[in-house]
Amino acid sequence: MKPLKRPVRRGLLVAHVAVSVSWLGLTVGLLTLGITAFATGDPATAEAATRAMKIFGDWLVIPVALLALVSGLVVALGTPWGLARHRWVWAKFWLTLITTGLSVFSLRPGIDAAAAEKAVDINLVIAPSVATATYLFITAMSILKPWGLTRRGRRLRFSASSAKSVDARSPRQTA
């Protein structure tokens, strides 16, 4: 993919961060509602919490998860960070892909089942807890940029540096 121009790259990065933070906030909201539904002794409160979780799950979880995944891919592929050059970017991609799949195929159906049966179990607390911890870990990776280059990233860096050193030693001008 061709590198993105600076204004486009910055706009996409802002959009990606905003969507990703929204996904984290949505999950914290689901966790709060799940704890409320599970811990309350009032059946009306539990039902209201699971109905609210269903609204979040039906209208927000999938679009926000997919937007975070797609915007992250575009930002990674359109910048020098690349998708498979740095281990932290590669790990973020796989964790986002896995959590998107789990949101679609596990979290949402679990919320729908709890709302339909009007039965609350601990899974309404565990799933958003794991998701929240994962998104916090992904956020920390974005800020700290741990680990190093992947094998592909080292190979690309080595080939770029060796090409520069050859050009630097060359007596004639290169294009």
Question: pLDDT grade, residue 26 (50/70/90)?
Answer: very high
Per-residue pLDDT tens over the stretch 73-110: 999 999 888 888 899 999 999 999 999 999 999 999 99
| Structural contact between residues 125 and 67, judged by C-beta atoms closer than 8 angstroms | no
pTM, two decimals, is 0.84
The torsion of the CA quartet 38, 42, 48, 49, rounded to 10 degrees, works out to: -20
What average pLDDT does this structure show over 140-165? 80
Alpha carbon distance 61, 66 (integer Å)? 9
Q: Give the SS3 label for residue 23.
A: helix
What average pLDDT does this structure show over 40-46? 93
What average pLDDT does this structure show over 114-126? 90
